[in-house]
Structure 1
Amino acid sequence: MKAPAISFARLAAFVAVAEAGTFTAAAERLNTTKSAVSQAVAVLERELGTQLLQRSTRRLAITEAGEAFLSDCRQLLAGAEAAMERARTGHAQPSGTLRLTSPQGSAGMVASWIATYSKRYPAMRVDYVPTDRKLDLIAEHFDLAIRVGPMADSGLRAVVLEELGLWTVAAASYLARHGTPRRPAELAGHEWIALSLLPAPWSIDFERGGRKVHVKLRGSISAASTDAVLQLVSQGAGISFFPSTADLRAEVEAGRLVRLFPGWASGRMFLYAAYPGNIAPPAKTRAFINLAKEAVRSAGSQGAAGV
């Protein structure tokens, strides 16, 4: 008996239901009807001879067989999309909608990249969500995330845009009132503004010439937003540390913030672009990553010229 031909539409319907959680949400995602999605999944189950989804009046759950098949489906669909993208490469401009996210603290930088991207690719639409919540790019249907931190995202590909040191900074107004700490250990006697998103927001490690110092911090304010912590520090509410992005370097160079302990290292992070899948990203995503690389290189060269 001849095996049925592969239907990418039915595979896409199954993946959409598994990720969206309901037939209605999957239909909205695929711009079709609920009955069409339900029928596509039912036909796929008959072709496979196995049940992929458990259906009830209250909930929809993926079966063990469905979980195993879901991973294969994603790879097949990604491969098909990549093949089509390769066929289009060289004669088509990026088009469609780029769904993009980044931390709140980098919103100004990313917004400037989006402005350039829109001028360069006028056919593109951009849906930008700045948030300090770490979104699930696959489940929430994002094409790309600009992130700052260690690169430990399972299931995502990442492109490093810049390697960043961590700078401890304070406003001049705070230092005028409370004095300037000269050694890392003196931070224990100062007001620390903690970023509660970090695994250890109330401690920090420093290193210089092989010597390591672990400092336990104290303070009355914590916030789950890098942008909020930076605003608090800028207003003189306390001391904190941040990745040395171009925006932070500009604040220090302008004298609005003071960098403490420049001879000490306190870890490194990365400014990076992350995207779902195990293959090359589509043209719209690749174009934005390339533009971001250009912008970071340009900012770096301008900063070097000004030193």
Structure 2
Amino acid sequence: MRTPAVSLARLVAFVAVAEAGSFTAAAERLNTTKSAVSQAVAVLERELGAQLLQRSTRKLAITEQGAAFLADCRALLTDAEAAMERARTGRAQPSGTLRLTSTHGVAGLVAGWIATYRERYPAMRIDYVPTDRKLDLIAERFDLSIRIGPMADSSLRAVVLEELELWPVAAPVYLARHGTPRKPADLSSHEWIALSLLPSPWSIELHRGGRKVRVKTRGAISVASNDALLRMVIQGAGISGFPCTADLRAEVAAGRLVRLVSGWTMRHMFLYAAYPGNIAPPAKTRAFIDLAKEAARAPARLAQPAVVDTTV
């Protein structure tokens, strides 16, 4: 019996349906028709002699065989894309779709980079998903993630865009009510707003020169959202620490935030781009990373400072 030729298009259709949860959503993602996607999956099931999806009038569910096959398809498509990219490395312009994610805390920053990226590479399509949910870049087929946080061991490769100090800051309205801490130990008697996603949200370490001081903070609020943390500090609910981006410097220079215990910094964080795989990223990904490195070192154009990403 002759084995059917492998069709990457049918594999792409199946993966799109499994990830999108419907034939209609998959067709929109692939820029084709619902009937074309349905037919591709049906042909694939006949070729395999296995049912990959359970269909009903109300919902679509992946079968046990389908789930196992989905993992293999993702790996195969990733390898195929990498092979094609290696074959076309001589091309001057990136092509295809860049699937990109970041936390909401750096969404404004990344949005500006995307606009510049599209100006440079008008043939590119971008699918951008800002989310604070921890993502599996490989399973969810993202090309790149922009993050701020400590560098962590993982299955991802990372390129540092900028190394950042962390500054404890507060709004003038908070300091007017509670006074201004002048030295690290003073922070322990103030209202600290903790980012509960961090390993030790109520303990901070400050550095100046060769000195190091650990302070146990206190407070009534812990929050698992970077955006909410920033809003609370701006509104005067308490003190917290943020990466010293150019935007944070601008907020401090404008008087909207005040740097505390001047000369002392909290631990360093990194603004970095993470991508899956153990080979060099494709041209579309590399081009975005290069642009981000260039922009991260340029004067900022954002309205708000970036905040710590703990999703790695």
TM-score for the superposition, normalised by structure 1: 0.77
Query: How many residues are aligned here?
Result: 298
- The answer for the alignment partner of 1:248 in structure 2 is 248
* CA distance in structure 1 between the aligned counterparts of 2:230 and 2:177, rounded to whole angstroms: 19
- The answer for the alignment partner of 2:144 in structure 1 is 144
**Aligned-pair Cα RMSD in Å:** 3.6
- 5+ unaligned residues in a row in structure 1: which ranges? 301-307
Paired residues of 1:204 and 1:266 also in contact (CA < 8 A): no
Paired residues of 1:19 and 1:139 also in contact (CA < 8 A): no
CA deviation after TM superposition for structure 1 residue 291, in Å:
0.5
- The answer for the alignment partner of 1:305 in structure 2 is none
Paired residues of 2:168 and 2:240 also in contact (CA < 8 A): yes
Q: Deviations over 1:178-224 (max 9, x none)?
A: 2222343432322233445x2468513215568663514213x5655
Change (3 A) 1:15 1:126: closer
- The answer for the alignment partner of 1:168 in structure 2 is 168
CA deviation after TM superposition for structure 1 residue 268, in Å:
3.4
- 5+ unaligned residues in a row in structure 2: which ranges? 301-312
Paired residues of 2:204 and 2:216 also in contact (CA < 8 A): yes
- The answer for the alignment partner of 1:184 in structure 2 is 184
Change (3 A) 1:152 1:24: farther
Change (3 A) 1:287 1:191: same
- The answer for the alignment partner of 1:215 in structure 2 is 216
Paired residues of 1:79 and 1:279 also in contact (CA < 8 A): no
Paired residues of 1:104 and 1:225 also in contact (CA < 8 A): no
CA deviation after TM superposition for structure 1 residue 241, in Å:
0.8
* CA distance in structure 1 between the aligned counterparts of 2:33 and 2:153, rounded to whole angstroms: 34
* CA distance in structure 1 between the aligned counterparts of 2:201 and 2:89, rounded to whole angstroms: 49
Q: Deviations over 1:45-96 (max 9, x none)?
A: 3433444334455544334443333222112212222233333333342345
Q: Deviations over 1:213-239 (max 9, x none)?
A: 3514213x5655434433443444421
Letter in 1 for 2:284: K
Paired residues of 1:132 and 1:224 also in contact (CA < 8 A): no
* CA distance in structure 2 between the aligned counterparts of 1:77 and 1:171, rounded to whole angstroms: 49
SS of structure 1 residue aligned to 2:93:
coil
Q: Deviations over 1:240-297 (max 9, x none)?
A: 1112222113333555433234565543332122345555444333211110012224
Change (3 A) 1:210 1:52: farther
Change (3 A) 1:36 1:156: farther
* CA distance in structure 1 between the aligned counterparts of 2:77 and 2:158, rounded to whole angstroms: 20
- The answer for the alignment partner of 2:273 in structure 1 is 273
Paired residues of 2:74 and 2:139 also in contact (CA < 8 A): no
Identity %: 75
- The answer for the alignment partner of 1:3 in structure 2 is 3
* CA distance in structure 1 between the aligned counterparts of 2:70 and 2:126, rounded to whole angstroms: 28
Change (3 A) 1:278 1:66: farther
- The answer for the alignment partner of 1:304 in structure 2 is none
* CA distance in structure 1 between the aligned counterparts of 2:164 and 2:231, rounded to whole angstroms: 20
* CA distance in structure 2 between the aligned counterparts of 1:151 and 1:174, rounded to whole angstroms: 32
- The answer for the alignment partner of 2:305 in structure 1 is none
Paired residues of 2:192 and 2:217 also in contact (CA < 8 A): no
